[in-house]
Structure 1
Amino acid sequence: MTDPLGEGIAASHLQELRRGTVVLACLVALRAPSYGYALLDSLKARGIAVDANTLYPLLRRLEKQGLLTSEWDTGETRPRKFYRTSAAGDTLARVLADDWVRLDEVIRELTTGKTSHEGDAT
């Protein structure tokens, strides 16, 4: 994608916009246990590109905050740390997703000039 504003301005703002969405995406995706590399691939396949140098510190921070749990799988040649969303993480995911929907509605109204209630029978 080219940057119509030049000097990386659009890229910088897109990065900022996506930063919070990665937290929500991880919390939702990790409702089923996964290890970091598989999560990277899964998110990328869905259009959420995350650098490994961003994801792994994020996973450790979310775990430290009690939003993820982890356990080591040593049954394979190379041990892997599997992450899973905790109950607190699931609660936060629901809060963030609800706000995401609200914000999406507001942005749609601002960009189209129509409120979500226009056309409703009253």
Structure 2
Amino acid sequence: MVDASKHEQDLRKGVLVLAVLSQLRERQYGYSLRQALAERGMPIEEGTLYPLLRRLESQGLLDSQWQAENGPPRRYYLLSDRGAALYRELASSWDSLATVMTTLLKGEER
């Protein structure tokens, strides 16, 4: 029997950017973002999330700001204007791809 876990990991990697962008339409810090994703069925490891956040910020897709509110300082992230535009574009692409995949998986002809 083939171990599907590697292939499942590959599928998840392909949607992580979209998943993260979808949750950063509202300001969040790393831990709250991890919780939000996990609660919605998309758990992500710290070692994956934080480098991804830094990469997205370096690409100009996220804005971040350090804040100390009732506790230790936290870096809060939010979509930049560029990030919001990319999010809309990727969400539209995902909708189209999901429709095609649903058709393929059901074996229906278009």
* Bin for the TM-score computed over the shorter chain: over 0.9
- Does 2:56 align with 1:62? yes
Q: Which of 20, 35, 60 is the aligned partner of 1:26?
A: 20
TM-score (ref. length: structure 2)? 0.93
Residues 1-122 of structure 1: pairs in structure 2 closer than 5 A: 5-6=2-3, 10-115=4-109
The higher radius of gyration belongs to 1
The farther-off stretch of 20-29 and 62-71 is: 20-29
Structure 2 residue runs of 5 or longer lacking an equivalent are none
1:28–1:90 contact (8 Å) kept in structure 2:
no
May I ask how many residue pairs the two structures share in their alignment? 110
**Once superposed, which parts of structure 1, at least 4 consecutive aligned residues long, lie more than 3 Å away?**
none
- SS for the counterpart of 2:103 is helix
CA separation in 2, counterparts of 1:52 and 1:115?
A: 41
- CA positional deviation for 1:76: 3.5
Comparing both structures, which one devotes a greater share of its residues to helix?
2
RMSD across aligned positions (CA): 1.3
TM-score (ref. length: structure 1)? 0.84
CA separation in 1, counterparts of 2:105 and 2:23?
A: 29
Residue type at the aligned position of 2:59: Q
CA separation in 1, counterparts of 2:109 and 2:79?
A: 35
Identity of aligned residues (%): 45
